[in-house]
Chains A and B, each alone.
Chain A
Amino acid sequence: MNESINFSLIYSEIFLLTAICCIMLVDLFQRDRERKLTFTLTQLTLVTLIILGFNQLNMPLAIGFYQHWILDTLATTLKIAIYIMTFIALLYARPFISHRNLMRGEYYLLTLFSVLGMMIMVSSNSFLLVYLGLELLSLSLYALVALQRDSKLASESAVKYFVMGGLASGFILYGVSLIYGATGSIIISEVSQFYSQNPSNLISQFGMVFIVIGLAFKFGAVPFHMWLPDVYHGSPSSITAYISSVPKIAVFGIAVRILMVAFGQSIGDWSGLILIVALLSIIVGNVVAVVQSNLKRMLGYSAIAHIGYFLLGLVPATDASFSAAMFYIIVYALMTLAGFGIVIFMSVAEKDYQNVSDLRGLGRYHPWYGLMFTVVMISMAGIPPFIGFWPKLEIFRQLVLNGYVFEAVIAIAFSVVGLFYYLKVVKEMFFSEVEESPEITESRSLKVALSFNCILLVLIGLMPDSIYDYCLTAFNIIS
């Protein structure tokens, strides 16, 4: 069973790869500047994948391809989240890129390739496949960031992203090589078996530290965060919306596979590391975000803080805390998408409005959108009944239940600091004096998509179980 080459385990991946190749060929023969057909086919592919994903959801756990591949509820749930977020991100991107020389078929192709990379990441059961999926994802993302060739800022951030991403991959690979040396296997379940028979030794702990550092780089957690604000600021807004949200879900997938499954027997070794990284991220992210005047940088630092809260969920290392962390990362992705949606929304034709002060007067002249953005900001700050509140509550509950009371208090205290800069945006929108209306996008599809996303934040906030149930089942089955 474990050794079989069973292609039914990877039919979503096969479908996606085939679809990518078809879209690539169709795109070649298109004369349409708007790339309507490419866009439609891409979104159709994603919708089909969502349907396929829901079909796979109740399948029993299956391992195949000589144990390299695993298909369980966790993988399928994460994949569905990835498809849905990518779908929304591409909806946002369309009006933005059509004005900026970015409307090319490669934009959609590279996005789909990164989706394929994330699918491989979340259902890999060996370190080799984790690395290959990560590279597939990262390579597509580097190219996406660099796609705006004429912009100096975008090129600079692409180089930063590339160098830092390469460094992180190097760390992970080095750690994997040490683990392989110590345990003699690159299959994650075999590594965990090795630890259940032999206690962890110094060399595998050394390798594990490297892997944790590599993951922290990919998450952008303090002290490995220095690339993150620059990259988020420099890359085109629609791509920032994508790279700040969806890949984090996939990195969560490999973090679970590596930390919870492979190193499940030596939790004490890594949970201390993660705790320090998480608290530093919360403190630095929230404090530095206060002084940012650029909306994209502010959201970047707030992303660092969010990652900190999410990492706190990994620290107790129980199934319940992992599902709380999964809940947090999915909600985070949804909120970040909406947050950068605001930046895209404020970008008309050739101009980019990125400063917080550019939002001035939005609430007076466009009250509906002002209300929507308020929902996003308050949700990010974590005020009930909006969606951002529930995963935070769940994570703090898990921390307190497992005896991390002091850490939970620090996190809550800095969450109050976070409230300041989120509310600053709301204040600019509603309470600042301004004579003329700020310019907003004219694209109707973007308006509809953004309203939909924000209403979703409210609706899920009213019934958080709709997502949280999936997270709970994902972890009850894999353990």
Chain B
Amino acid sequence: MSFQVLVFYSFAAVLIFSALMVVTSKHSVKAALFLVLSFAAASGIWMLLEAEFLAISLIVVYVGAVMVLLLFVVMMLDVDYAALRQGFVSKLPVAAIVACGFFILLYSFINQGVFSDDRYQAPPPKPADYSNVKELGRVLYTEYLIAFETAAVILLVAIIAAIALTFRGRRSRKSQNIQKQLSANKQNRLKVLDIKPVIRQKSDESRPEEEHSKDSNLDSAESEATKSEKAESKSTGSDSSKGKPA
């Protein structure tokens, strides 16, 4: 067993162990940190494949940036991970059967010889001064130029979408929505209520004044109030009604 094979198996063991721990550990921060470990192990394996640039960018991008964001999410959002894991045991048999079936299927595919050694021979090792970055750049800007540009456009869409979905403008803006005011009509502003006249009888007059409003006028008075409120908010436009301080 050469040294490289030894390194491969040790990294692979760490990778499998940490990946399992990501799924099974109860503490969410611990799970995130195990994810970091699995990324590090994976980048070690990539290093063995002579993909130095990808290995380093895996560390920089995933461990450095993505994981920090993930930890922020864990910290700021109070996600109840225990609740998320509910039903883990009860659904385990079905999941295990599907996973096993899939594994057997894939294993039989691999044994079929499509991915055998004589079809895909190991590339000869590159000399020490071989530049990974240069080759990657050459391929990206020639062969995959259009895919590269499309990916850039996708990132632009992501920015626009994120801003469109979260940016709400200045909250205290009070402006008129002229089109809305012009398109107002009687049907959606005025509501004609049918209020029955209150007939006071002689015995009623002896009652205190408060009781009157409670008895008969309460409904109509309330609806009058809400109506005027509605009309006010409509006439000032949508933004001011939205712009109430939270």
Give the interface of A toward B (CB within 8 A).
5, 10, 17, 24, 33-34, 65-66, 68-69, 98-99, 101, 104, 106, 109-110, 113, 116, 120, 126, 128-129, 132-133, 135-136, 139-140, 142-143, 146-147, 149, 181-182, 201-203, 206, 349-350, 439, 442
Chain B 235-246 interface mask (CB, 8 Å, partner A; 1/0): 000100010000
Complex: how many Å from CA A442 to CA B185?
12
Q: Does B192 sit within 8 A of A, measured CB to CB?
A: no
Partner of A203, one of B114, B153, B156: B114
Q: Would B161 and A140 count as touching, CB distance under 8 A?
A: yes
The number of residue pairs between A and B whose CB atoms lie closer than 8 Å in the complex comes to 89
Partner of B157, one of A104, A140, A203, A439: A140
Q: A113-B153, A132-B150, A136-B157 are in contact. Are A106 and B164 (CB under 8 A)?
A: yes
Q: Would A146 and B144 count as touching, CB distance under 8 A?
A: no
Complex: how many Å from CA A17 to CA B150?
10
Interface residues on B, range: 20 to 34
Partner of B188, one of A109, A136, A149, A349: A349
Q: Does B146 sit within 8 A of A, measured CB to CB?
A: yes
Give the interface of B toward A (CB within 8 A).
105, 109, 112, 114-115, 142-147, 150-151, 153-154, 156-158, 160-161, 163-165, 177-180, 183, 187-188, 238, 242
Q: Would B146 and A17 count as touching, CB distance under 8 A?
A: no
**A319 vs chain B, min Cβ distance (A):** 28
Q: Would A201 and B112 count as touching, CB distance under 8 A?
A: yes
A-B contact pairs, 28 of them (CB 8 A): A24-B160, A34-B179, A66-B143, A66-B144, A68-B146, A69-B146, A101-B238, A113-B156, A116-B153, A126-B147, A128-B144, A128-B147, A129-B147, A132-B147, A132-B150, A132-B154, A133-B150, A139-B154, A139-B161, A143-B165, A147-B165, A201-B114, A203-B109, A203-B114, A206-B109, A349-B183, A350-B188, A439-B187
Dominant SS among interface residues on chain B: helix
Q: Which residues of B contact A24 (CB under 8 A)?
A: 160
**B79 vs chain A, min Cβ distance (A):** 16
Q: Which residues of A contact B109 (CB under 8 A)?
A: 202-203, 206
Closest to A33 in B: B177
Q: Which residues of A contact B180 (CB under 8 A)?
A: 99
Q: A34-B179, A182-B114, A203-B114 are in contact. Are A136 and B160 (CB under 8 A)?
A: no
Complex: how many Å from CA A116 to CA B179?
32
Complex: how many Å from CA A65 to CA B145?
7
Q: Would B114 and A181 count as touching, CB distance under 8 A?
A: yes
Dominant SS among interface residues on chain A: helix
Q: Which residues of A contact B158 (CB under 8 A)?
A: 139
Q: Which residues of A contact B242 (CB under 8 A)?
A: 101
3 A-B pairs with least C-beta separation: A143-B161, A106-B164, A132-B150
Q: Would A17 and B161 count as touching, CB distance under 8 A?
A: no
Partner of B160, one of A68, A109, A181, A201: A109
Interface centre among B112, B164, B165, B187 (most CB of A within 10 A): B164
Q: Would A139 and B188 count as touching, CB distance under 8 A?
A: no
Partner of B154, one of A106, A109, A135, A206: A135
Q: A5-B145, A33-B177, A113-B153 are in contact. Are A203 and B112 (CB under 8 A)?
A: yes
Other A-B pairs, 20, CB within 8 Å; known A113-B156, A201-B114, A349-B188: A5-B145, A17-B153, A33-B177, A68-B143, A68-B144, A69-B146, A101-B238, A104-B164, A106-B163, A110-B161, A113-B153, A116-B153, A126-B147, A129-B146, A132-B147, A132-B151, A136-B153, A136-B154, A140-B161, A146-B165
Partner of A66, one of B115, B142, B151, B154: B142
Complex: how many Å from CA A411 to CA B158?
41
